[in-house]
Structure 1
Amino acid sequence: MKQKKYIIQNNPFIVPTTDGKVIKEHFGMATDGNSQISIAYMKAPSGWSEPFQTPKFDEFTFILKGKKQFIIENETVILEAGQSIKIEKNTRVQYSNPFAEICEYIAICTPAFSIDLVNREVK
């Protein structure tokens, strides 16, 4: 029998959070053990923010709805729906949604997101 050369992901891994953010990893370490790439759908509520971090992976973000703020090194960048960004590994960054509406976006990390590679700073 011929093996299929594709995978349809109908059951993403829902990452437990305590800050109201929704993270659904479709492919990556938690879902299929792939350490090369992770792809996740995110929903960041109004007022959400993470500590600064200096990840050891490139992160691509594509905004689907709303706006998201990035502080990259010392520069503030705001993206809106339809815009995307690539932040290179070993770059100090903080992600947040200080805006009134929910921000929905896709995040792609290469290599895959791992808590061991994110290097979050203690608040």
Structure 2
Amino acid sequence: MPHLVEQPSIIPPAGQNPKLIEEYSGRVATKTDQVSIARIVCPPGWSEVGQCPEFTETKVILKGMLQVEHKDGVMLVRAGQAAICHPGEWVKYSACKTEGAEYVTVCIPAFSPSTVHRDEK
């Protein structure tokens, strides 16, 4: 039988100028470790420390622009585009200083603070 998620779980964010994280499926919202799906709203100028996660993370940009810094440079991901980051790749995410970003992120397996491996601050 299908499961209705009536409202997302709000997850405490990491990073400067905190973002809004609304989890619809994952370790908090549905107690699953298979996949996490969340809507993220980042204010203008938001950024977080780099990370080297153990999961695949797909970010589908709905509004604004997300900057994805990686070992070979920087990728700008605009509304209507997506970024896919693979396990073991170092990445650092930030939002445009003027417009911020809104996106849906899917992590397989589900996001976990113990498997994201954030850089020291």
Do Structure 1 and Structure 2 share a fold, with TM-score over 0.5? yes
Distance in 2 (alpha carbons) for counterparts of 1:32 and 1:22? 18
Q: Show the counterpart of 1:116.
A: 114
Distance in 1 (alpha carbons) for counterparts of 2:8 and 2:53? 23
Runs (4+) of structure 1 exceeding 3 A deviation are none
What is the Cα deviation at residue 99 of structure 1? Answer: 2.9
| Structure 1 residues 84-108: Cα deviation after superposition (integer angstroms, max 9, x where no partner) | 1211011000000133012100000
Residue 73 in structure 1 maps to residue 71 in structure 2: yes
The letter of the residue matching 1:120 is R
Find the partner of 2:97 among 96, 99, 120.
99
Q: Show the counterpart of 2:88.
A: 90
| Structure 1 residues 39-70: Cα deviation after superposition (integer angstroms, max 9, x where no partner) | 00000111110101000000000000000000
Query: What runs of 5+ residues in structure 1 fail to find an aligned partner?
Result: none
Find the partner of 1:17 among 13, 16, 23.
13
Q: How many residues align?
A: 119
The letter of the residue matching 1:27 is S
Residues 24, 38 of structure 2: 8 Å contact kept? yes
Find the partner of 2:4 among 3, 8, 31.
8
Secondary structure of 2:93 counterpart: strand
Alignment of 1:42-81 (within 5 A): 42-81=40-79
Distance in 2 (alpha carbons) for counterparts of 1:8 and 1:96? 32
Query: What runs of 5+ residues in structure 2 fail to find an aligned partner?
Result: none
* Structure number, greater radius of gyration: 1
